[in-house]
Amino acid sequence: MSSLTPQSGGKNTVECPHCGFKQLESPYAKSTFCRKCSEHYDLGKPAPEPHEDRPSLLERFGQLLSRNKTREITCFDCGAVQTLSSAAKSILCPQCSAYIDLTDFKITGSFSRKIQTQGTVEITAKADVTSSTIACREAFIYGKMRGTLQCTGLTSVKMSGKLNGALEVKELIIEKRSDVEIVRPVKARTVEINGKVSARLHVDGKVVIGKKGWLEGTIYAKAIVIEKGGVFLGELHIGEQEMSQPELLPLDADAKPKQRNKKAQEDTPGQGSLPFEAAG
């Protein structure tokens, strides 16, 4: 039998089975004569070129899903932030040794249990949540919720109607096509409004009303941005914090000067506080 080895130039090296002489022949030739002993012999089929096994489409898809992704979580007890694999289901805080659950929850019906996880909580459109407290890393609200939501990351609201729960979140987004009334005051670091909302906002940072955003209510924030097309109707307080109760002034000899100062303050609007009606 002849041995075939791929060579440059598109020809194969064949070996005569009679005398062992090697010569180049076309890969399409079926037989030849040996140039040394003149004997005729068949070449047979060329040996297939070696190739590297490639994974199937399903195997490649599985490899894509199995890639190690990471996420950032915050300990509820001490506030320590750490980055870990998205495949992890639980962990102990390296700073305070508190147990941190990383389970994701998708609520589709009536639900009243307390949740504390650094995973994602999704409240679907048909859900009715009456939990006293829901603490999580990410939250997506599409249905009814009562109680308090504490979220260390993104909270997305996309619904119509009243939202009776209290929101204490890092980042709040009111999605497009929302028409929601948030009954209780909202505490957030940043707020972005792309739908319609009525709320009382206490924001450590900036409020952004998008080009299709509509906000009616009261804002306490460090800054506000209203994009062209956005609407804000209500009371705006920039750089202020709402007082929990009115200040009590003692009735003493200094009462009159303090009353005069109070009268002057009433005559002059406070800095950063004003009724506001604006459209971008």
Q: Report the pLDDT value the prediction gives residue 253, as an integer from 0 to 100.
A: 41
For residue 77, how many other CB atoms are within 10 A of its CB? 13
Distance of alpha carbon 86 from the chain centroid? 13
The band of 128, judged by pLDDT with boundaries at 50, 70 and 90, is: very high
Strands 40-42 and 31-33: antiparallel
- What is the strand order of the sheet 144-145 is part of? 110-111, 128-129, 144-145
The domain ranges of the chain are 5-42, 124-241+269-279
Q: Report the pLDDT value the prediction gives residue 56, as an integer from 0 to 100.
A: 66
Q: Which residue has the higher pLDDT, 278 or 75?
A: 75
Does the predicted TM-score (pTM) go above 0.85? no
Q: Which residue has the higher pLDDT, 40 or 78?
A: 78
Are 90 and 109 spatial neighbours (Cβ–Cβ below 8 Å)?
no
CA distance 36 to 184: 100
Q: Which residue has the higher pLDDT, 196 or 47?
A: 196
Q: Report the pLDDT value the prediction gives residue 242, as an integer from 0 to 100.
A: 66
Segments in the chain forming alpha helices (H): 57-65, 255-267
CA distance 181 to 202: 15
